[in-house]
Amino acid sequence: MPETEGKEEAQIRGSIKKKSLPDAETFSQGILSGDIVLLSRAITLVESTLPSHQELAEAILEKCLPHSGKSIRVGITGIPGVGKSTFIESFGNHLIEQGRKIAVLAVDPTSQLSKGSILGDKTRMEILSRKKEAFIRPSPSGDSLGGVARKTRETIFLCEAAGFDTILVETVGVGQSETAVNSMVDIFLLLLIAGAGDELQGIKRGIMEMADLIAITKADGENTARANRAKAETISAVHFLPSHESGIKTEVRTCSAVTGEGISEIWTEILNFIQAIKDKGYLDKKRKEQAKHWLHESVQSMLLDDFFSKLGNDFHRAEELVTQGLAGSYQTARKLVKYYKNEGQQI
């Protein structure tokens, strides 16, 4: 059975504490030379909340950042049961056959009750995980928006510096996480299953609008005819969606992770899309907008952390007043912010 995130993370961080940590220069040189052990340890530092780990992680990122940005970043999502991990294993093996080095950043769901996360992607991608050209990193989503690990973007940079030329970011499902993933990848792939005409009812319109490429999975055997019908229905649905900012039409394809049928065509579509947005100057523009977006996100996150850290029990008292109906939410929030800025009285 896969371990929960809490137990696994504690073990990893415990091992980091027991070993003397290399300095940022040693880490960065190791990562640039393709040292997977140092890459994994650096990612753990990036994900850590310990101030000393964060400081070292920032120094490592600063040294690795000039060597990043040369990969193709692919976001992959899909409804439950669509077979994302099975698709990624088949797709990843195909890319390796094409001479690519791939990193799979699989963001697993974290329970809001137990805060545990079943890190099962390495188990599900058994063949791919044994390939030296592949690096699979399951990450707990924590409390970040829609289940996207807070530090996934920094992890992408480290993997790129380590020589991985294709980054696959797998999301937990169809929800708010897709917006966050879309803000860190070059192309967004939506996986659907046969019978997608009915399934489209359960998919948020915004996710369909974000998709740069759609693939109908499990198109094999008796399911082939249903997959082709689903493709036609999806093409019809896409026709009524607004055009992408890139100006490139969303293509729809069918594939089977079991037989491999259609897998190479999906990779060809991805390469065609990347080349097209490069030619239009849209890829450079998109990555600059993404960098700006994550600057804003980082500032907000740091301010919130500092806000709750400084207010502590004062915030809990304010919560009680609001929940008991003794104070209004908006007015209390204003007072808290003033108090945080040293411009007001304690609540």
Domain carrying residue 72 = 67-280
| 44 is a domain residue | no
Looking at the domain assignment, is residue 50 inside a domain? no
DSSP result, 167-224: EEEE-SSSSTHHHHHHTT-SEEEEEEETTHHHHGGGS-HHHHHH-SEEEEE---GGGH
Which pLDDT does position 344 carry in this prediction?
73
Domain-embedded: residue 206: yes
Find, among 77, 75, 139, the residue nearest to 107 by Cα: 139
Q: Do 5 and 140 contact (CB within 8 A), yes or no?
A: yes
> What confidence score (pLDDT) does residue 11 get?
54
Q: Quick one: pLDDT at residue 57? A: 95
Is residue 39 one of the residues assigned to a domain? no
Average pLDDT for consecutive 10-residue bins of the chain (347 residues)? Answer: 47 56 95 96 90 94 96 90 90 96 78 42 76 86 50 93 96 69 92 66 69 94 92 88 86 94 97 96 95 88 89 92 94 94 79
* Number of separate domains in the chain: 2
Q: What is the pLDDT of residue 150?
A: 66
Angle of helix 152-161 relative to helix 51-64, nearest 10 degrees? 50
Closest residue by Cα to residue 70 from 38, 26, 35, 103: 103
pLDDT at position 182 is 86
Residues 6+ positions from 10 with CB-CB distance below 8 Å? none
At 318 the pLDDT is 94
Burial of 188 (0-12, 13-18, 19+ CB in 10 A): buried
* Residue ending a domain, choose from 235, 260, 280: 280
Question: What's the pLDDT score for residue 107?
Answer: 67
Q: How far apart are alpha carbons 16 and 71 in whole angstroms? A: 29
pLDDT at res. 147: 35
- Write down which residue in 255, 280, 305 finishes a domain: 280
Whether 274 and 296 share a structural domain: no
User: Six-digit token pair at 99?
Assistant: 């001479």
**From the centroid of its chain, how far is CA 118?**
16
Q: What is the CATH number of the domain that holds 273?
A: 3.40.50.300
Q: Which of 237, 259, 280 is the last residue of a domain?
A: 280
Residue 223 lies in a domain: yes
Instruction: Return the pLDDT at 151.
Output: 82
